[in-house]
Amino acid sequence: MHKRIVFLLALLLASASALPAAHAVELRICRQAGISYLPLLVIEEQKLLEKNAAKAGIKNFTVTWTELSGGAAVNEALLSESVDLISGGVPPFLRLWDKTQGRVKIVAVLSGLPVLLTTSKTDVKSITDFTANDKIAVPSLKVSLQALLLQMAVAKQYGIENFHKLDNLTVQMKHADAYIALTSGKSEITAHFASEPFATRELRAGLHTVLNSYDLLGPTVSQVLSGSQKFYEKHPEIFRLVNKTVNEASQWIHANKKQAAELYLRVEKSKESLDLVLAILENPQATFLAKPEGAADYADFMHAIKAIKTKPASWKDLYFQLPE
């Protein structure tokens, strides 16, 4: 009888060791580089998700971070289920939302920073002053936030049917390369639709603004964190935790701008000056507590130009509903 009990105990222990830890959850987040994604840097550096999960009684919870660049790359990472959450601009998100028929939605708003179209040409005061000899640098042709903003500005000026009027002037170029090309004066590039910190750098280098994205849309969301319906259905509590943690990080940034600037420089190993990064964070137009409604403005335009097939009935269609 004793031997039988020992055998059964051994069998139970062996079976238990073969099973995965109960309720173990790994959250894989893909972020992009840049000050627009500062809340994620704060969360990663301060381990806020892990701390908040522990406070909420969520056990066996781990977070894995990866970094990719470009909307197409991060979208593919989510579609392939290589990651659970991706960060990116609103237009690439909308293409993914449309492609998956709403199975990918926004979990949290990351930032609302103005994007500036700058130029070295003193005679170019508005988009109507560009000529066939000009070249406008954007990070991706037609699909990037910057390319879409240019089309929106053109549609406002010339009518929706002419939204692509300046597309032939755009050149695909990384922000850093565009900055060098534009400020060197030795390139065919005459304008750059720049995100931060390059927009501020270019203004400090003597360039001037042709168009501010806020002139088109007002203060609006620019970067978001999105995830799949599949993950949400398994772990709704995790997405709620993420949303609250992003908001916590954003509030910390606004309350501690100098510390946030120092964190950005340290984590990103950036060569920017503290003065420049702090100037960006202190810009009255910059916010990391952006309102979510602005995403619908992009969606309406993208639907009008047939960049997406489905038009959301409301901005709420684009977001996971995450009750307290």
What pLDDT score was predicted for residue 1? 47
Instruction: Collect the ranges in the chain with pLDDT lower than 70.
Output: 1-23, 323-324
What pLDDT score was predicted for residue 14? 43
DSSP-derived pairing of the beta strands 25-31 and 85-89 = parallel
Measure the CA–CA gap between 306 and 55, rounded to whole angstroms.
46
pTM here is 0.86
Residue (of 135, 176, 129, 180) closest to 153 by Cα position: 129
Domains of the chain plus CATH, in order, are 24-112+220-318 (3.40.190.10), 116-217 (3.40.190.10)
What sign for the dihedral angle of Cα 153, 156, 160, 164? negative
φ, ψ of residue 128 to 5 degrees: the values are: -75, -15
Condensed to tens digits (0 to 9), the pLDDT of residues 127-169 reads 999 999 999 999 888 888 899 999 999 999 999 999 999 999 9
What pLDDT score was predicted for residue 25? 85
Measure the CA–CA gap between 276 and 264, rounded to whole angstroms.
12
Measure the CA–CA gap between 261 and 156, rounded to whole angstroms.
36
What pLDDT score was predicted for residue 290? 80
